[in-house]
């Protein structure tokens, strides 16, 4: 088993392999503001629809020529389905992250079962950091979200230091904890094009993105929190997976010339996660050789 079979150097290179986890034991739990609001409003999961929506996502990815790989779901791990958080593929190998919430700490064992030992490049040991806060934007450019909750300054600083040693330009993006992860308010959709809750991100951070040549399409606070509208997955070649209920955002992306694949995933978004959260890219074509 080759040590470097998994590789990404961007959020937008052509996606060939992705890691998911079936939602067999997925539940909404009061661990984030989105799920709390859903449950307070009397919402409940329809498990038949939940399964159907996950299968639709898998079919969408396979239809886009993406090979799907799966973790084994476990009882007592209700958010294992959000594979974005428990590991991070990099240009240098896989990183095992440091999950914050107690109900998620056990996910590390399954991650280490999935990856071969020689595929794991680093393990995060300083503070906390989760994959939803890590954005390997393009070769040489990294942003890490810091809310103090899922990812703290120590965890972000350790992860960033490994990339700075390799000569990358890196930045911490600070935001309030109730947004969970950076991918709730910011995601790349194509090379040098992103969507973001521009009324949430600090103006200095928006200026930094502009200085890096990244154009940002605006998403509202309501779209980000109610619909998980920023939580999308770029497939490369101007294709993006975005939830069907994000009708305005999807129209905006199509107006930019992007092809939007739109599976329905509201059973997941109402629990505080969506397409970006549910997918850890394992391999993308390098933008440096595209």
Q: In which region does residue 46 sit, left (phi positive, over 0), alpha (psi from -120 to 50) or beta (all else)? A: beta
Q: What is the pLDDT of residue 2?
A: 43
Q: What is the dihedral of CA 280, 155, 180, 107, to 10 degrees?
A: 50
Contacts of 92 (CB under 8 A, 6+ apart): 121, 122, 162, 166
Quote the CA–CA distance of 270 and 272 in Å, as a whole number: 6
Q: What is the pLDDT of residue 1?
A: 36
Quote the CA–CA distance of 289 and 55 in Å, as a whole number: 32
What six digits make up the tokens of 254? 């199509």
Q: What is the pLDDT of residue 33?
A: 65
What is the fold of 13-282? 3.75.10
- For the stretch 209-228, pLDDT in tens is 999 999 999 999 999 988 89
The closest of 235, 198, 227 to 214, measured between CA atoms, is 198
Quote the CA–CA distance of 81 and 98 in Å, as a whole number: 16
Residues of the chain with pLDDT under 50: 1-3
Q: What is the pLDDT of residue 32?
A: 67
Q: What is the pLDDT of residue 219?
A: 98
What predicted TM-score, i.e. pTM, was given to this entire model? 0.94
- For the stretch 106-139, pLDDT in tens is 999 999 999 999 999 999 999 999 999 999 999 9
Q: In which region does residue 239 sit, left (phi positive, over 0), alpha (psi from -120 to 50) or beta (all else)? A: beta
Quote the CA–CA distance of 148 and 271 in Å, as a whole number: 21
């Amino acid at each position: 088993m080759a040590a470097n079979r998994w590789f990404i150097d961007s959020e937008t290179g052509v996606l060939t392999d992705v890691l998911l986890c079936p939602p067999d034991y997925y539940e909404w739990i009061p661990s984030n503001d989105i799920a709390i609001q859903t449950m307070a409003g009397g919402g409940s999961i329809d498990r038949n629809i939940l399964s159907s929506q996950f299968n639709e996502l898998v079919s969408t990815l396979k239809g886009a020529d993406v090979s799907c790989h799966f973790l084994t779901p476990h009882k007592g791990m209700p958010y294992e389905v959000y594979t974005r958080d428990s590991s991070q593929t990099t240009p240098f190998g896989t990183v095992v992250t440091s999950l914050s919430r107690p109900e998620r700490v056990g996910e590390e064992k399954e991650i280490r079962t999935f990856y071969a030992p020689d595929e794991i490049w680093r393990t995060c040991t300083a503070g906390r950091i989760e994959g939803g806060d890590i954005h390997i934007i393009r070769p040489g450019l990294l942003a890490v979200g810091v809310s103090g909750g899922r990812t703290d300054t120590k965890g972000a600083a350790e992860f960033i230091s490994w990339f700075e040693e390799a000569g990358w330009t890196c930045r911490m993006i600070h935001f309030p904890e109730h947004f969970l992860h950076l991918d709730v308010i910011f995601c790349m959709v194509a090379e040098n094009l992103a969507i973001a809750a521009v009324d949430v991100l600090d103006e200095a951070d928006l200026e930094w993105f502009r200085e890096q040549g990244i154009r940002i399409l605006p998403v509202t606070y309501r779209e980000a929190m109610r619909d998980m509208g920023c939580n999308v997955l770029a497939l490369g070649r101007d294709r993006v997976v975005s939830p069907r209920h994000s009708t305005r955002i999807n129209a905006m992306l199509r107006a930019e010339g992007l092809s939007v694949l739109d599976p329905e995933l509201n059973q997941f978004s109402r629990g505080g996660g969506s397409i970006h959260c549910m997918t850890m890219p394992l391999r993308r074509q390098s933008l440096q050789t595209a």
